[in-house]
Chain A
Amino acid sequence: KAGVTQTPRYLIKTRGQQVTLSCSPISGHRSVSWYQQTPGQGLQFLFEYFSETQRNKGNFPGRFSGRQFSNSRSEMNVSTLELGDSALYLCASSLGGLREQYFGPGTRLTVT
């Protein structure tokens, strides 16, 4: 069974630009959660989608948004990038609820 895939793996952007990250969950998993990981703040929850609906949201500004498609693939968008958005962005898939989460390799975003 293929694992969670994330594209791209690495990304360099300039302040003020926007970026879209993609996540393909494990086959059969309908829940996708997004996390931001930084050395100072650790792993912080951004949002979760289940069957194309956002079910949970963390404490991030509205510049961070996401969506999920009918095939469960999910995208995350960050608009008006700031230097502080530099981080490893991880997505995790699960069957939903508090079932076990399986993480992808992450997208390393660097904002210059």
Chain B
Amino acid sequence: TQLLEQSPQFLSIQEGENLTVYCNSSSVFSSLQWYRQEPGEGPVLLVTVVTGGEVKKLKRLTFQFGDARKDSSLHITAAQPGDTGLYLCAGAFTSGTYKYIFGTGTRLKVLA
């Protein structure tokens, strides 16, 4: 059974601080996606990483895929209140069939 563990589960920081969220598994992903979800809404896709060691940047957000494609991280520089939300990673697996497994989520609150 594939599991995706995210850490930390909760994070409350001041505006301007930096933070990193981690997504780990014992299984190899075909690809990995990061989403942000706001209360009462569906997750919004932020990025997809496919290649081991890949780094993608989206303004103040930096996403990294581990060399072995078993882990990923999301780093936010100079966090702003608008970054508040639930961050989810989703790993795509192709063992027999294909499926997405979602991480447990990291709830981020950025205080002004």
Contacts and interface: CB of A to CB of B under 8 A. Distances in A.
Interface residues of B, number: 24
A56 B40 contact: no
B102 A105 contact: no
Contacts of B35: 103
A102 interface: yes
Contact of B104 (A6, A35, A42, A55): A42
B42 A106 contact: yes
A45 B42 contact: no
Contacts of A104: 42
Nearest to A58: B99
Nearest to B99: A56
Contacts of B84: none
B100 A103 contact: no
Contacts of A12: none
A98 B42 contact: no
Contacts of B105: 42-43
Interface string A11-54: 00000000000000000000001010000001111000000000
A103 B33 contact: no
18 contacts: A33-B100, A35-B102, A43-B43, A43-B90, A43-B105, A56-B97, A56-B99, A90-B42, A90-B43, A92-B42, A98-B94, A98-B98, A100-B48, A101-B33, A102-B45, A103-B35, A105-B41, A108-B40
Interface of A: 4, 6, 33, 35, 42-45, 55-56, 90, 92, 97-98, 100-106, 108
